[in-house]
Structure 1
Amino acid sequence: MNIRRCAAALAAVAVIGSSAPAVAAGTAPSPSGRPSLPAGLYGGADPKYDGVWRQSLALLAQHTAGVRPAVKAVDWLTGQQCADGSFAAFRAEPAHACDAKAMADSNSTAAAVQALAALGGHGAVVGKAVAWLKSVQDADGGWGYMPGGPSDANSTSVVIGALAAAGAEPQDVVKGGKTPYDALLAFALRCSGDGGGAFAFQPDKKGELAANADATAAGVVAALGQGMAAKAGGAGKAPACSDAGGATPERAAANGAAYLAHAVAKTGHLTSALPGAAAQPDYGNTADAVVALAAQGGAGQAREPLEWLEKHAGAWARQSGPAAWAQLVLAAHATGADPRDFGGLDLVKQLDATGPAPQAASTKAAASAKAADSAKSGGASGGTWWFVGACLVAGIGIGFLLSGRKNKKVG
């Protein structure tokens, strides 16, 4: 969360295009006639295809901003876990045991691990989820979206992030003599030729690799041993693609960053399009690219796409919901930008508003907020206080689960 396929597109339509939330299986109408969604869930759209994913991103983003999520929001996520440790995209009746219809997947499970590991206090849930992920590792060292499916760059990347978040060394998780990094490097394109330095989602039917910007952003972060809440790496010179020194995760990360830097150089953003449609800005993948560029080469490498998002991404996030707000918060986190003043938007407040009211902000976050407000008002009191695909819908990405994981070129 290829996983984009039409199911993911249906989720994107539900999140992005509907004026009223659809009724999820197992939900009941409220007395007003409006559909009733599970208590604790972020967002008002049908969670059938992305409930665990968007919940995990929201909780993770809030954590990076110093916000303590509502207990019922965290409980909703932990309550989605199956007895074997896995997570499905959404379970309408979590009191019932999981069966074949639950369709557990690597992406939902890995996203939940990253969120719950960051929050702390959920060692048993995280441990069972990591054990399940290890149990469904492919022989090439990677993961596909569904257990037993062929590995892809995005799924392998989000699992690497989960392993790292849980304190496991990804290089020590071996299947058939192969590590997750072996699988990831198999998707990396050499520097010569079209799309040089990028990662492919999967080989095509002929076994050939094609550059995919979403897979590249995911691959860069994973190759560096980080997850969705990646932090900025050491500042360095502009990334350049090179095949010197052989294939290593570090080299692949630098090459992937060079591809992304080139892709955003002219406009400040990535683009995407359905077949036969005009290319449009891809906000979700651009946010992921910001995280990747910052993680590989420091915040300065992501300055242009970050500034573009600050100017243009507000309307997209309002329309798309909690996962989109979370992506922007994570982009701000990776670059050291202020998520409470992101092009004039308080991303944290917007994200908070999509779910149950969080607990009081941490002391550190509150102190930072007061200091910033004091500076903005010249030391006066009373300032505003801080609070936190092949079937892609054209031009509108929503991150690993709902943006560009499709078998087409994006750039």
Structure 2
Amino acid sequence: MTVRRSALALTALTALTAASAAFAPAAVAEDSPAPSVKKLPSGLYGDSDPAYDGVYRQSLALLAQHTAGVEPAAKAVDWLTGQQCEDGSFAPFRADPSSDCDAKTQVDTNQTATAVQALAALGGHDEAVGKAVDWLKAAQNDDGGWGYVPGGDTDTNSTSLVVGALAATGTKADTVTSKKDKTPEDALLGLSLKCADGGAFAFQPEKNGDLTANEDATAAGVLGGLGSSLVVTEGESAAQTACEKPADARAAAANGAAHLADVLKKDGHLTSAMPGAEDQPDTGNTADAVTALHAAGLTDAAKKPLAWLEKNGPAWAKQSGPSAWAQLVLTAHATGTDPRSFGGTDLVAGLNATGPAPKSAENTPSAEDSAKQAADEDGPQISVWWIVGVGLLVGAGVGLMISLRNKSGRK
């Protein structure tokens, strides 16, 4: 969608704990341990270990810059295109892009779908985009959806990211069918809860088949059900504000948006927790929820959480890195808010300062000015416990992923 989120790390972990149960995406906390590579590429955004989210965060950064009228640095775009495997897929990070990908290369649908959205928006990368889309289509599950890794169980987040990639390339999701004639819409509808259970989306079914509401998955499912990419255009004012039995994925998306609106009423933000840690505001998922509400046309319900984001989001982005800055830029775009004056903070300058200087930008301060501004920001701090916890989970997840993939012959 966790410390903005630890989800990509956790995505990998859960996808792995089952290769049979893929987890969902988002962005790994940028305050993670020092990079495992000796020297980070000069074209890469962020200075944390790119092993789990390099392509994802790069894609978000480029997509957000484009949305804000900024022309990214050529070497930033070149780094992203250079990460693509010959079959069209993307792994989170390939230290040596000159080496061919093989069965041990840890490619996934999340990195690939996000790269498609960025490269399609930038233009001029038709061949790379076409190959990536073909790979995604080939990785579709029989139920019409996608898991984090090819062959992994379908989840709402991964399916919605791929739907976004299809939308970004002008492909309607209902035209992409599986070998069993199922579409992404069929998969998302199957992951939506009944109105008696709140109408949200589940990440994946539990082992017993039950569906459990998940706000991160719900925000993703709203975009997927509406057939939207990560660059959201505000939907028409929604007539439906309460749950109704859904006839299709679009109706399920409306139910999911109504669920988010109800959850956000009290505090104006979503809350997350990890075992042994106190509950704390989940800024990343709140941003996703605000974007989803605007996509569904529930703009009034988004006002309170948007105000909360304007107050608390910049400090979170300062600590969390390029994915977080980019996410807020995309939320600002969805809500019609100026990303250069988001609660008094220039989000575009903050994003630009995390990587190579862009070719052009409209009214964007220098990296030095944006860094100084970020240093002066005050706001909630991310618990060290969370960061350590994410690191431990990622380490365990990667080991399990490698083991599972070796056994199966294979984000």
Common fold: TM-score over 0.5: yes
Q: Is the 8 A contact 2:109 2:136 kept in 1?
A: yes
**Counterpart amino acid of residue 218 in structure 2:** T
Structure 2 residue 25 is the aligned partner of structure 1 residue 23: no
Q: Is the 8 A contact 1:213 1:260 kept in 2?
A: yes
The equivalent residue for 2:380 is none
Q: For 1:335-350, what aligned pairs fall within 5 Å after superposition? A: 335-350=335-350
Which of 156, 159, 172 in structure 2 is aligned with 1:156? 159
Aligned residues: 356
Q: Is the 8 A contact 1:156 1:184 kept in 2?
A: yes
Instruction: Report deviation, 1:241.
Output: 1.2
Instruction: Report deviation, 1:103.
Output: 1.1
Provide the rounded CA distance (Å) in 2 between the counterparts of 1:241 and 1:304.
21
CA RMSD of aligned residues (A): 2.5
Q: For 1:393-408, what aligned pairs fall within 5 Å after superposition? A: 394=386
Instruction: Report deviation, 1:168.
Output: 1.3
| Per-residue Cα deviation, 1:62-81 (whole angstroms, up to 9, x for no partner) | 11101010010001000000
| Percent of pairs with identical residues | 60
**Counterpart amino acid of residue 192 in structure 2:** A
Instruction: Report deviation, 1:22.
Output: 2.1
Instruction: Report deviation, 1:228.
Output: 1.0
Change (3 A) 1:3 1:14: closer
**Counterpart amino acid of residue 233 in structure 1:** G
Q: Secondary structure at the match of 2:144?
A: coil
Instruction: Report deviation, 1:393.
Output: 7.2
Deviates more, 1:211-220 or 1:164-173: 164-173
Q: For 1:356-367, what aligned pairs fall within 5 Å after superposition? A: 356-361=356-361, 365=362
Which of 50, 54, 58 in structure 2 is aligned with 1:51? 54
Q: Secondary structure at the match of 2:171?
A: coil
Provide the rounded CA distance (Å) in 2 between the counterparts of 1:299 and 1:71.
37
| Per-residue Cα deviation, 1:51-93 (whole angstroms, up to 9, x for no partner) | 0000000001111101010010001000000000000111111
**Counterpart amino acid of residue 228 in structure 2:** Q
| Per-residue Cα deviation, 1:145-203 (whole angstroms, up to 9, x for no partner) | 0101111000000000001101111110000110011001110001103xx11000000
Provide the rounded CA distance (Å) in 2 between the counterparts of 1:145 and 1:295.
24
**Counterpart amino acid of residue 358 in structure 1:** P
The equivalent residue for 2:13 is 5
TM-score scaled to structure 1, two decimals? 0.82
Instruction: Report deviation, 1:99.
Output: 1.1
Structure number having the greater helix percentage: 2
Q: Please list every run of 5 or more consecutive structure 1 residues that lacks an aligned counterpart in the other structure.
A: 29-35, 370-383, 385-391, 403-411
Instruction: Report deviation, 1:275.
Output: 2.3
The equivalent residue for 2:301 is 301
Instruction: Report deviation, 1:225.
Output: 0.8
Provide the rounded CA distance (Å) in 2 between the counterparts of 1:177 and 1:65.
39
The equivalent residue for 1:262 is 262
Q: Secondary structure at the match of 1:38?
A: coil
Provide the rounded CA distance (Å) in 1 between the counterparts of 2:253 and 2:387.
25
Q: Is the 8 A contact 2:27 2:57 kept in 1?
A: no
Provide the rounded CA distance (Å) in 1 between the counterparts of 2:293 and 2:89.
31
The equivalent residue for 1:286 is 286
Change (3 A) 1:202 1:307: same
**Counterpart amino acid of residue 65 in structure 2:** Q
Change (3 A) 1:331 1:12: closer
Q: Secondary structure at the match of 1:16?
A: coil
Q: Secondary structure at the match of 1:271?
A: strand
The equivalent residue for 1:182 is 186
The equivalent residue for 1:135 is 138
Q: Is the 8 A contact 2:32 2:48 kept in 1?
A: no
Moved over 4 A (4+): 6-9, 11-14, 392-396
